[in-house]
Every structure is written in C-alpha cells, then in structure tokens.
Structure 1
Amino acid sequence: MKVLVIHNRYRSEQPSGENNVVDQETALLAEAGHEVDLFERRSDDIAEMSLSRKAVVPLQVPWNRAVRAELARRLADDRPDVVHIHNTFPLLSPSVLAACADAGVPTVATVHNYTLICPPGTLYREGYICTDCVGRKPIPAVRHGCYRGSGLATVPMAASMMLNRNRWWSGVSKFFCISRAQREILIAAGMPADRLAVKYNYVTDPGKTRKGAGEHLLFLGRITEEKGIGLLMKAWDQLAAAGGPLPPLVIAGTGPMQDEVARWAHGRDDVRYVGLQSKVECQDLIVRSNAVIAPSEWLEAFGLVVVEAMAAGVPTVAAAHGAFRELVEDGVTGLLHEPGNPESLAARLREIVGDAERNQEMGWAARLVYEQEFTPKVGLERLVGGYQAAIDA
C-alpha cells in the first residue's frame, strides 16, 4: 500500500509515547514493503517563530487554511491509498480532514487519548477523573482552565473540539482505539461504534527477558500527578514505616513533579530517582525489575510501560481502572490495586515481592500474553487490516 502518515510531533523536551508509536509503525510498514510518506509538523518549531507568528498559532488550532491547501497539493501529487492521522494539535488542525475528503482518499485515525471528547485529552481535573465535557459543550474545561491551568489556553482546544466534532466523526472511515476501555468511553460519548476498532499499540521485542527475581521496583513514565507519582510516594512511605525487606524503588522520567520527587528521594537508601533515560537504559531498567508500577490516577487509554514489562517477562502492579484492567490479569500477569488508594497500592507492592516463585510465574504469563497480542507481527496485521477496511468502505 501507499500510506501517508499525518502527525504533529510533540516537543522533544516532553518524551512522547505517541511520537514513538508513529515512528515504530512507519518503520514497520516500510520494512514490510509498503510505501510510507510523512506529512508532519513539529511543536519544537514554535520556539523559533517570530512573536507575530506565535500569536497566530492558537487561532489556527481549530482550522489552518494553509495546511489544508498544502495537504491538498500533496494528495493530488502523490495519490496515497490511505491516509493515517495521528495528532493534529497545534500546527496542523482538523483542516487535514477536509483536504482528505476533497481528494476522496480513505482516512483512518488513531485515537491516542481523549482529545475528541475532552479538550486536554485526559478526562482528569484537580486530582479526580472528570467527564464534565463528555457529550456536552466544553464550557467547563474553559472555566476550569483544564489545559495548562489557563482558561485562555484552553479556548482554542475547546473551540476545535466543538467546531470539528461532526467533521471528525463523519470524515474518518476507521478509528483505531488503543484499548477496549477507551472504545467504550468514546461510544458512550456518542462516537459512531461501527467506525471504532480496537488496535493495541505493539512493542518491539527487547531481545532479552528477566532472569531471577529482579533487583528493584520500577516506576517509569511522566512524573505527574495523573500518572500517580504522588500516590506512589505515599504508599512507599507507608511501606518504609512498616519495615520489612523490600527491594529499592527506582523512579525514571521527567515532568512537573520531578523536583518534588528528587527532594523526596534525596538521601534515602530505599529510593533512587534517575531522571530521563534513553530507550536502551529504560529497557535495561525494566528487565532488571522485580515489578513495574503503574499507579495512574487518570483513565489510561493504553499503558505502554505495562506492555514493555510484559515483553521483558516482568509483572506489573497497576491501578484497576482504564486500560489496565484488560492489560493486567489480576493474580496472573500482575496485580491490580484500588485506584487512588495508597494503602491498597502498598499492600499489592508487598505482595508482588513477597513470593518469588509466584512473581516469576506472573512474569512468564505476562511474556506469553505479549507474544500473543503485542508483537510487531500482530501489530502489522491489525494495522494493514484496518487500512484495508477503510479502503473497502
């Protein structure tokens, strides 16, 4: 097939699983013999813009006429079999849908988060899961300043969501949801169920699996409230106060709470904060883990770190909501804790390290699920199958 991939890349300073998925899928398609081209923008470029140009960016979030015209020319020249849209914020806009419709090119879109029904895309506000804007006008998001804590910054995203809702829902032949949990939420919000297909993200086989019990417990991801880092610190302090043997906790990643985490970990023997790590270093941290911890307080649409742990034969302790409930089989491939409850998380962490034989069995079971559901081979089959369905439609 001839595939055109459309994506607005996130800032380099903000490590993005979405960028990684796009890169992996385009490479996978090319290796399989498909012709893949990119139509992209980079959020990094905003820093180099003049002040006047920067001022225009928010106004073009709902609709960018120049991008529509540029993409129309590209489609006329290249005539792809299918267009695959990932992220359009902030430099592309949903105007790409109009260009695809004008050209009569089948269009698919991966729904990486919840931006089609929630302006910041998180369904999370001020420490709680929030659905105030789902199926409604996104006025609450503006009132609460849900994007970057600013009502003004939220307006372009809210406007885009309101003005382009029908264009998204009618202009895309097939949506790829990255979990069943996400699909159920989108259907409840009114999106067309017959166009929503589940296509899990895949993970490249690390080429090695854990040997033995592992050296540490690992949190790997964005250091933010919604990812549950505050909850993890409370749970860990409870474990430390109770005493008893525990492997050290390693925290890797960056984000708004990184300074708070660094201060909390400073001078402790039982906690190590290592900051941002390379892909190879992350794989090494995972394969040496007793368990990977995913205590997210928001409804994760997927949970890439869980599948990365599976690939390495490592069990996960995760919050029992969102996609984690289908990725982690409680007591079989890992353990689930009550969301938002530090006592429950502490108990499950104590449990995961308390029985080495059971831990090993859960790791093996997790690896088996990875081989069945999340390998590049399976990912390619589902990706190309989705493209073909869109073309047929």
Structure 2
Amino acid sequence: MVVPPWLSVPPPGYGGLEHVVAGLVDALVERGHAVTLFGAGTEHGTAAEFVSTHPELQYDRMGESLPELAHLAHVDRLVDPADFDLVHDHTTIGPMVAGRRRVPTVATVHGNPVGEYGTVLGNTDRGVGLIAISHAQRRANPGLPWVGTVHNAMPVRDLPHKRAPGAGPVLWLARFSPDKGPDVAIRACRAAGLPLTLVGKCHEPAERRYLEQVVEPLLGDDVDLVVNAGREAVLRLLLDARCLIMPVQWAEPFGMVMVEAMATGTPVVALRRGAVPELVRPGVTGLVCDRAEELPAALRAAADLDPADCVAHVAESFSVERMAVGHEAVYRGFLAGRAEGSRAVARLVAG
C-alpha cells in the first residue's frame, strides 16, 4: 500500500485519503492479508508493517512533484516480486510510473479525472489498473483503464454519534477553495437565518489567498471561522452541528466528509454534484438540492431528520469491511486478467 509522502496514516487532522487508507489497511490485515504500508515520516497508526522512504513528512512541499517522485523511486527499489503479489498506489503520479514496477499495480484515483489530471491518467500504462471511488468519477472519463469502482469508507465502530438532532450551527468542513463553495454556504445560512461555522484547511498559498480575498470579506457575527482544526475538534463540531452543508461547485469525486458527518448522526445538505447522490439518501440522511436557492429551506428542514438513520446508512454502505471486500474482488480480478493475458501471449509464442 503506497500513500503520498505528505501526511501520516491516519493523519491527526485533515487528510481524507490517509483516513481511508488507514481503514482499508486495518480491514485487510483483519481479513488475513499481509500488508506493508509505504509512506514518509516515522509514525503510523495501522496494523500494517510500515516502511518509510524519508524520515520526515513532506507536508510543507505538498503539491510539488519532486518529493512524490523521489518517494516513488524509493518504493520501486524496495518492492520485490518475491515479497509482494500486488501494489495498491494512492499517489497522484503513481499511475504514470507504475508500469516500470516489477509487481502488478492498481492505483486509486482520488481526484477528478478530467483536465490536466485526466491527461496524465490517459497516459497510464495499460498494464496498470485504475480504481474509481464513485460511479460519477468513472463516468467523468470512461476511457481510462478502470478495473473497478469501490466507494471510500471509514472506521465507524468507535466513532461517537448523537441520539438527537444537533442544536448547534450549520457546519461547513472542507479546504478553502471555490470548488467547495464556502461563500455559497455563508449566503445560504444567512438566508435561512441560521448560524454557520466554517472549518477549513488553509495551508497552501492558493487556499490562503482564497480565504483572505473571498471568504473573510463575507464574514459577520453569524459566522465563526476555524482554521486547520484537529481531529478531536472536528468531531466535537460535527456532534454539535445541526447539519453539514456541502454546496460543492464541481463534480465532487467522493466527499469523505459527508460519510464522516453521517457517521456521527449529522445529516448532510448538499448540491447535486458528482458523487453526492451516491452518498446521501434524500429525505433520510440528508437533502440534495439542484440549485443554491433551495439550500436555505433544506437547511431548516434538516432538523427533522433522525440521526440514527444517518448512522445506520454509513454502517451498511460505507463500512471499512465492505470497502476491503470490494478491493479484494478488484485485486483478484485484476491479477486473474493479467495471468490470462500472460497465458495468451505464451500460446501465441508457442505457435
């Protein structure tokens, strides 16, 4: 299992990818698999054997290509066919270089597979299998070498959840980016007459510029701003929240925060973009709107939804056990396909 070199697994705060991988690793180990996790830094919190390619996390260089390339070069030197059946890569650049590996590789696509990223993925070696995290993501670029679709999940067994609707503010939880619509959230809550708490990741220069230039001028007494919150603080805010608002402005490929919110019993009010309809059960675990003008009424109506239905939905549809079983099926199918391809080549050579 290969993760980017930016964050620990699981991370102390922001890091949806790392939370997902932590859950997947532990579930696979519990199901009897031997898993080695390749990352950076010196700490991890999973049941896997951990191999670090760099003594320090490279978080301060997130977004640069060289740290990830150097990380992958180390991984490729360490991965031996005698020791591993399969590599599961979660990095951005991984699919481009995985064709050189001596061990078969599948790679989960965690972003939106269009634009420049789609161009990169379109040049993936055809011997590398891509895993989608939603059907919407796969539909966005159906010509890529997809080998399966497995929804993300998170460990919810020990996660606290509420038994009555939250009485606190509406919560927006994301990175500060126009894709995530914090400005839309402010306007919707203001129109609904409801207080809002904005909790956002803000480390990268583009995030800081967006916060300062777009979000901060919209703030008022009805909006609290929390920047770079830790994991425990986020959980407290989710448990208190009336609902989570997801006014996404792009084709969200998954949206792990929605699963986390529902797992705590917090319903989701979202715009119908990307994978949102695959995650939220309208009228049961949240409300899905087609236009931003519909959000204020949905925010008020969210208080009528039962937290128990939200928790049950996540337990049924987004458990780490279900995610592990889905990946096992993809792994086996991918390896069987490669084996059959090798046999076909051998038959051709034999004449």
Q: TM-score when scaled to structure 2?
A: 0.77
CA distance in 1, matches of 2:314, 2:162: 14
Q: Deviations over 1:220-250 (max 9, x none)?
A: 111221101011112223234xxxxx4x322
Contact 1:7–1:88 (CA<8 Å) still a contact in 2?
A: no
1:76 and 2:80 are equivalent in the alignment: yes
Q: 1:230 to 1:32 in 2, by over 3 A?
A: same
1:349 to 299, 304, 314: 299
**Equivalent residue of 2:178, what SS?**
coil
Unaligned runs of at least 5 residues, structure 1? 49-56, 122-133, 139-160, 241-245
Residue 283 of structure 2 contacts residue 305 of structure 2 at CA under 8 Å; is this kept in 1?
no
Please say if residues 171 and 245 of structure 2, whose CA atoms lie closer than 8 Å, have aligned partners that are also in contact.
Answer: yes
Give 3-state SS (helix, strand or coil) of 2:179's partner: coil
Counterpart residue type for residue 165 of structure 2: A
In structure 1, the residue corresponding to 2:144 is in which secondary structure?
coil
SS of match in other structure, 2:35: strand
Shift in CA distance, 46/221, structure 1 to aligned 2, threshold 3 Å: closer
Aligned equivalents of 1:349, 1:69: Cα separation in 2: 48
Q: CA deviation at 1:97?
A: 2.4
Q: Distance in 2 between matches of 1:320 and 1:25?
A: 28
Equivalent position of 1:156 in the other structure: none
Matches within 5 A, 1:52-131: 70-76=74-80, 78-89=82-93, 94-99=96-101, 103=102, 105-115=103-113, 117-119=114-116, 121=117
Q: Structure 1 residues 282, 68: CA separation in 2 closer, same or farther (over 3 Å shift)?
A: closer
Q: Distance in 2 between matches of 1:377 and 1:33?
A: 12
2:279 paired residue number: 327
In the alignment, structure 1 residue 299 sits paired with structure 2 residue 251: yes
CA contact (8 A) 2:6 2:58 kept: no
User: Where does 1:177-326 land on structure 2 (aligned, <5 Å)?
Assistant: 177-187=132-142, 190-192=143-145, 195-205=146-156, 206-216=158-168, 217-240=170-193, 246=194, 248-255=195-202, 256=207, 257-259=210-212, 261-262=215-216, 264-265=218-219, 268=221, 270-326=222-278
Change in Cα spacing, 1:286 to 1:67, as seen in structure 2 (3 Å) is closer
CA deviations on 1:18-37 (whole Å, 9 max, x unpaired) are 22222332233334442222
Check the 8 A contact 1:83/1:107 in 2, yes or no: yes
Q: Is the 8 A contact 2:186 2:223 kept in 1?
A: no
Query: Which whole-Å CA distance do the structure 1 matches of 2:288 and 2:243 have between them?
Result: 12
Q: Calculate the TM-score normalised by the size of structure 1.
A: 0.69
Partner SS, residue 243 of structure 2: strand
Quote the residue 2:333 is aligned against.
389
Residues 311, 69 of structure 1: alpha-carbon distance in 2 compared, 3 angstrom cutoff? closer
Q: 1:224 to 1:74 in 2, by over 3 A?
A: same
